[in-house]
Amino acid sequence: GMKFINSGPLPDNLRIKEPLDGWPNNQPLPISESKADTTVIPDAELKQLQSRGTQKRQLDRIAGRSAAYKLLKKEGIATSIINNKDGRPILTDTPEISISITHRNGVGIATLSRNGEVGIDEENIELRSDAFLQQWFTSDERFLCHKNSFQQTLIWCMKEAVSKALGKGLTLSTLDIEIISIFQKTCLVCLKRTALDI
């Protein structure tokens, strides 16, 4: 998981607005995992998920939505899910609750937060190519992870999760979400340029 730490006062224009109920505590967020299960997704939404992409991409998206709807049922939240113009999932009847979805290899995972924004990502641990690192990682991040596949994957997951929590997905430049340091279960993240324009 990830948590934010207070490293000192920032100017108001650089601060993420604090949720009405304060910042989340360290309690684990509810999570759900599912393979594609068309029985839990509303028909209109299912047709939309099946309308584009390869069959594998469709199954991955359906798995993600299946996990999300199973999580909503488990949490007693009756609503549907739409995507905004940036691709962010929004709960139609309870937009104050933040939901995030990821999928990989036919398995979807979803989490939600009633107190602030949430982002989730999961990736296979693998060594990235030098070209990938050059394009998507800052020079300091490349130094931080060097040739360590776990560190590379952790940094990439953090970038994706933070961009989802900001509500922009990878419409943001990954270079503007910089992982400064990695602790045991905490990463220090610096937001720059486009990531601050939220």
Mean pLDDT of the chain: 86
Average pLDDT over residues 4-19: 53
Residue with tokens 């962010």: 88
Tokens of 170: 């990878």
Q: What is the pTM of this model?
A: 0.81
Each residue's pLDDT tens digit, 84-128: 888 899 999 999 999 999 999 899 999 999 988 999 999 999 999
Q: Which residue has the higher pLDDT, 131 or 3?
A: 131
pLDDT in tens, 150-166: 999 999 999 999 999 98
What pLDDT, on a 0 to 100 scale, did the predictor assign at position 116?
87
Q: Please, which residues have CB within 8 angstroms of residue 34's CB and are 6 or more apart in sequence?
A: 40, 63, 66, 67, 70, 107, 108
Q: Give the separation between CA 68 and CA 123, rounded to whole angstroms.
A: 18
pLDDT value, residue 1: 47
Question: What pLDDT, on the 0 to 100 scale, is given for residue 172?
Answer: 79
Summarize the confidence of residues 24-32 as an average pLDDT.
Answer: 78
Give tens-digit pLDDT for 35-84.
999 999 999 999 999 999 999 999 999 999 999 999 999 999 999 999 98
Residue 15 pLDDT > 80? no
Residue 35, burial from CB neighbour count under 10 angstroms (0-12, 13-18, 19+): middle
Q: What angle do CA 45, 59, 70 make, to 5 degrees?
A: 60
* Range in 3-7, 8-12, 14-18 with the lowest mean pLDDT: 3-7
pLDDT at site 5: 47
What is the structure's pLDDT at 194? Answer: 65
Degrees to nearest 5, angle at CA 62 with 163 and 45? 95
